[in-house]
Structure 1
Amino acid sequence: MFVEVRSPQGAAIVLPGELAFLLGQGVDLDLVREAALLARREGAEPVAALLRAGLMSEADYYAALARALGRPFRGAGLVLHADVRFPDDIRLGAAVGALGEIFLAPPPGAVAALLAAGAPPGAVLTTPAALSGAVLETAGPRAAARAAEALEVRAPDWAYRPGLHPGQILVLLLGLAAALLVLDAAPWLQLAALALLNFTFLAVIVFRLAAPLLRPDPLADPAPVPEAELPVYTVLVALYRETKVVPRLVGALARLDYPASKLDLKFVIEADDAATAAALAALPLPARFEVVTAPAGLPRTKPRALNVALPLARGEHLVVYDAEDVPDPGQLRAAAASFRAGSDRLACLQGRLVIDNTDDSWLTRCFTLEYAALFDVLLPLLAAAHLPVPLGGTTTHFRGIR
């Protein structure tokens, strides 16, 4: 939906409806036009361009939307019905309140439809951040259980469970039986079994020693993706008692060279980590940053925290970073280009990790050698040979999340 408006000089200007209504709420035309031009240039949703570029705060925009719809606005203190759904209500942008009211926080792509249809009776407008926080707080135990147990429910064969399952027990018994047979076998058969075992270990050692001499040809740099065609990219960072690195981390992520309207950056913290929450609150976070508080639950691990935030990811691609990471500013553009140039079978990319405090101690020098051997020698060779590649827990990019 587009609306034609007139500038003070009488020139006709065509604006998206989800931005044009702001003029009737006293918002400056130049600001609205800047957001529209930014959305057109970056190929983004107009509301996303306005908010994530920091041209207008989320609270001010949704308060103006409430006035335009003739509905009340509540930016905090939401009390929701006990049966709210996580993550469905957050994705939908609507949840039922404890008194029967409907809290609406339409995502950027749904604002135009709401303006065209009007808000339902009993609707109260709020911000997506406030709605997300209220849903997580109300549905905390269910969200925690989902994060910890969803994989076991959906794909039990992929999930870890304490103890051994029947297949593992069978393999162990067969292995034990084979070992007993070898111990009682003829000497030549015992020698053959020992030689096979030694050969396996030797092959692994030779492969690692020969890897520096078998460097594959470097991959060609893929063509960059045009600005308007870049996908929305989600960045997830799980933090727990990481107050000292928060300022450096925020600065590093703020320097990412990627359209702000297409960035979905989420810090995931634990409910009892007041120190890290305070450290994030003390910084002027750009509008594209969001803090997700994982509800209390077990196990208290990085994977569980990421599982809480994963259903809320808006990106087509997703990358996981650690708190101490300082990613190259051009990494997301490079990853998007590699995904686009790669085949449909390309599911993920492992970023190269480099230790940046080599001179601190003997231990950091050992880490530098280990990382250089792994990321500069072994992993490129494994990938070129089409062998299984071990992925790290950070700087790993995934495609097709949405």
Structure 2
Amino acid sequence: MRQGLADGAAQSTALPVEIGFLSNHGHAPEVLWQAAVFSQAAGVTADEFLIREGIVPEDGFYRALAAELRLSFIANPHLSSAVRYPDSVLAGLAPLARDKARFVAAPRGPALTDLLKTRSLGRPLAITTPTRLRQAVFQTQARLIAQQAAHELANKTPHLATDVSYGQIALLFMALTLISFGLVHAFGPTIGILGAAMGPLFIGSVVLRLAASMLSNPVIPTAPPPRTEDADLPVYTVIAALYREKRVVARFLDALAQLDYPAAKLDIKLVLEVDDPETMEALRAIEVPGNVEILIAPPGEPRTKPRALNVALPLARGRYTVIYDAEDVPDPGQLRLAVSRFAEAPPRVACLQARLTIDNTDDTWLTRLFTVEYAALFDVFNPGLAEIGSPIALGGTSNHFRTSVLRRVHGWDAWNVTEDADLGIRLVRLGYEVRDLPSSTFEEAPGTLRLWMRQRTRWMKGYVQTAVVHTRKPWIMLRQLGLWRFSGALALTWGVVLSALVYPFFTGLYLASWFASTEEAFDLGWTAALNAYALTLFLSGAASIFIPACVALHRRRLWRLMPWILMLPLYYCLVSFAAWRGLWELAIAPFRWNKTSHGLARTSRAGLFQKHQARVAVTRSLNTAPP
């Protein structure tokens, strides 16, 4: 017995300082020794490894630390109003309001080691956990955090922030009224003027789409990078804004657990809203990993995803940060691939956009067309734009950023309902680049027309916001981007909006002209040159719809969806209706965020849903089995 204790004592002395004390508080030295070995292989401190891998509960670790240091443990610290955000959370130290101890600490890594080495008694210090400290800071500085998340971009760079005033909205609707008046009283000249004015923008969009289709951008990288040792990998922050996601949150955490990345180097932050107890209950019902932090965004306006992301960004500890949505299932190797691509790229490359693909393709006709649209966008169009150096309107998820750059550009525009598209344009305006990341993330598409229309209305409203913001002072944007990229940015903002608005009208008008005399039907008085111009727009526009879709389905090997390409012209009529709805919503509720419901999928291309359900069933059977 004595020999065993002596061996244990000898082993504990060889343990790292930051965890060695745990052997005096009921934790087996051999377990601590193994954790120390694995933490060294992962390149993290032993205390972070123990907690993030879930070997020792955070609460138990810090209560043992308080007992070891003979300091009081505070479960609910009441902080002074002088506490600083995010500094106090990142430093693990905050001033107390009323207590014998002047400060409360939740040390990690080197700070924990220093505290254990000094061990000076009588210090005005108490101990708590990082989670409890963070919650106390959020409670004390709720107003400041809400203000910063909503207004930092506008305060620091007002010319790049969303500021769609009612005057601008009135001006937009006055222009639409004048166009309507012209169509009623001078149809031919009005159509001619509109076609001539918007034609160059449409041609620019067509050229970009067709040029992107000619470039080779395979779904899977042709030469995978060599595998990096875990110890050499940086800390990676994952941020997900969740709202009413009780149906998918367990599967999302399961998907993150499948990532081929050391758990101790994953800094996962889930941002919830105060009026969403359902998601919180769903999280309490499962075993949340030790590398997951749950942040409750303070009450405030606007109630948008970018505001929630801005709440988490100041607390990001990773060199890189990725944004995921609650229904996402990223490729397990995505983070490792991103690390290698960032290492190869120059510092001006601020973001890598991964490929989004639809998982529930076979749910409905709408999800099939959504799959075709996403394949064309993320497997052909965006990778091609990145290759030719054009600006990119980012997707809403699977964006990988250099964290330092993301902070430098003040995060996301909380008032823009397509914050992703806005950020993509803003990064390029500020001198950075966005590149493609050939790694897939499976997403769930809305399966009903009502859900799809709500989502697409928000997207089109946000594109109008983005277009207004970035062309408010076009001469500045032209100077920042140069003529070529300026034209690309216009095509990606106003080009998307205007083409969606007029697509069914101009297409129908042109097709009708084939079945009736031009003069008799519309009295347009087109010249031969104008007819040729219209024919060029029509044919090139059709090519820009069908060619990228065909190329994308070939790359994804989704040949069975080829017949559905013929439905794309009708699908884009629905997009046009959503664009007009977006204009109307911009006038009555410019910052309303139409929530997309998830967890309603009935099919799964990759079998992800079924695999998760099977795991849940096995877990439940084990939990309910008699002893």
Q: TM-score, normalised by structure 2?
A: 0.56
The range that moved more, 205-214 or 369-378, is: 205-214
RMSD: 2.9
What residue in structure 2 maps to residue 36 of structure 1? Answer: 36
* Cα distance in structure 1, aligned partners of 2:9 and 2:82: 53
Conserved? CA contact 1:63–1:73, under 8 Å: yes
The range that moved more, 352-361 or 16-25, is: 16-25
The one-letter amino acid of 1:140's match is A
* 1:353/1:25 CA distance change after superposition, 3 Å: same
Q: Compute the displacement of 1:70 (Å).
A: 1.1
Q: Compute the displacement of 1:15 (Å).
A: 2.4
SS in 1 for 2:330: coil
Match 2:229 to one of 219, 226, 231: 226
Q: Compute the displacement of 1:13 (Å).
A: 6.7
Q: How many residues align?
A: 379
What residue in structure 2 maps to residue 358 of structure 1? Answer: 361
Q: Compute the displacement of 1:192 (Å).
A: 11
1:399 aligns with 2:411: no
Match 1:252 to one of 255, 258, 264: 255
Conserved? CA contact 2:212–2:385, under 8 Å: no
* 1:14/1:386 CA distance change after superposition, 3 Å: same
Conserved? CA contact 1:236–1:268, under 8 Å: yes
1:16 aligns with 2:16: yes
SS in 2 for 1:83: coil
1:71 aligns with 2:71: yes
**Bigger-Rg structure (1/2):** 2
For residues 284-304 of structure 1, the C-alpha deviation after alignment (integer angstroms, 9 at most, x for no partner) is 111111111111011111111
The one-letter amino acid of 1:337's match is S
* Cα distance in structure 2, aligned partners of 1:337 and 1:295: 36
Q: Compute the displacement of 1:131 (Å).
A: 0.5
SS in 2 for 1:244: coil
* Cα distance in structure 2, aligned partners of 1:307 and 1:243: 22
Conserved? CA contact 1:236–1:318, under 8 Å: yes
What residue in structure 2 maps to residue 182 of structure 1? Answer: none
Structure with a larger share of its residues in helix: 2
SS in 2 for 1:351: strand
The one-letter amino acid of 1:205's match is V
What residue in structure 1 maps to residue 287 of structure 2? Answer: 284
The range that moved more, 126-135 or 110-119, is: 110-119
Conserved? CA contact 1:94–1:104, under 8 Å: yes
The one-letter amino acid of 1:280's match is L
Q: TM-score, normalised by structure 1?
A: 0.86
Q: Compute the displacement of 1:82 (Å).
A: 3.0
The one-letter amino acid of 1:202's match is I
Q: Compute the displacement of 1:117 (Å).
A: 2.7
What residue in structure 2 maps to residue 205 of structure 1? Answer: 206
Q: Which runs of 5+ in 1 are unaligned?
A: 173-190
The one-letter amino acid of 2:267's match is D
The one-letter amino acid of 1:87's match is P
* 1:338/1:146 CA distance change after superposition, 3 Å: same
* Cα distance in structure 2, aligned partners of 1:149 and 1:356: 36
Q: Compute the displacement of 1:269 (Å).
A: 0.1
What residue in structure 2 maps to residue 153 of structure 1? Answer: 155
For residues 95-137 of structure 1, the C-alpha deviation after alignment (integer angstroms, 9 at most, x for no partner) is 2222143211113331011112336623111000001011101
What residue in structure 1 maps to residue 88 of structure 2? Answer: 89
Conserved? CA contact 2:234–2:319, under 8 Å: yes
* Cα distance in structure 2, aligned partners of 1:15 and 1:346: 41
Conserved? CA contact 2:269–2:293, under 8 Å: yes
* 1:13/1:123 CA distance change after superposition, 3 Å: closer
What residue in structure 1 maps to residue 432 of structure 2? Answer: none
What residue in structure 1 maps to residue 333 of structure 2? Answer: 330
Matches of residues 1-400 of structure 1 in structure 2 within 5 Å?
7-8=7-8, 14-74=14-74, 76-100=75-99, 101=101, 102-118=103-119, 121-163=123-165, 197-209=198-210, 211-215=212-216, 220-400=223-403
* Cα distance in structure 2, aligned partners of 1:245 and 1:11: 44
Q: Compute the displacement of 1:281 (Å).
A: 1.2
The one-letter amino acid of 2:303's match is R
Percent sequence identity over aligned pairs: 46
Conserved? CA contact 1:6–1:12, under 8 Å: no
Conserved? CA contact 1:225–1:336, under 8 Å: no
SS in 1 for 2:271: strand
Q: Which runs of 5+ in 2 are unaligned?
A: 173-191, 408-627
What residue in structure 2 maps to residue 188 of structure 1? Answer: none
* Cα distance in structure 1, aligned partners of 2:157 and 2:71: 44
What residue in structure 1 maps to residue 566 of structure 2? Answer: none
For residues 128-177 of structure 1, the C-alpha deviation after alignment (integer angstroms, 9 at most, x for no partner) is 00010111012111111111112222222322224399xx9xxx9xxxxx
SS in 1 for 2:14: strand
Q: Compute the displacement of 1:81 (Å).
A: 2.2
* 1:334/1:161 CA distance change after superposition, 3 Å: same
The one-letter amino acid of 2:330's match is P
SS in 1 for 2:366: helix
Conserved? CA contact 1:348–1:398, under 8 Å: yes
Conserved? CA contact 1:271–1:293, under 8 Å: yes
* Cα distance in structure 2, aligned partners of 1:6 and 1:49: 26
Conserved? CA contact 1:352–1:375, under 8 Å: yes
For residues 7-42 of structure 1, the C-alpha deviation after alignment (integer angstroms, 9 at most, x for no partner) is 349679732211222223332111111111011101
SS in 1 for 2:247: helix
Q: Compute the displacement of 1:89 (Å).
A: 1.3
Q: Compute the displacement of 1:224 (Å).
A: 2.7
* Cα distance in structure 2, aligned partners of 1:64 and 1:18: 12
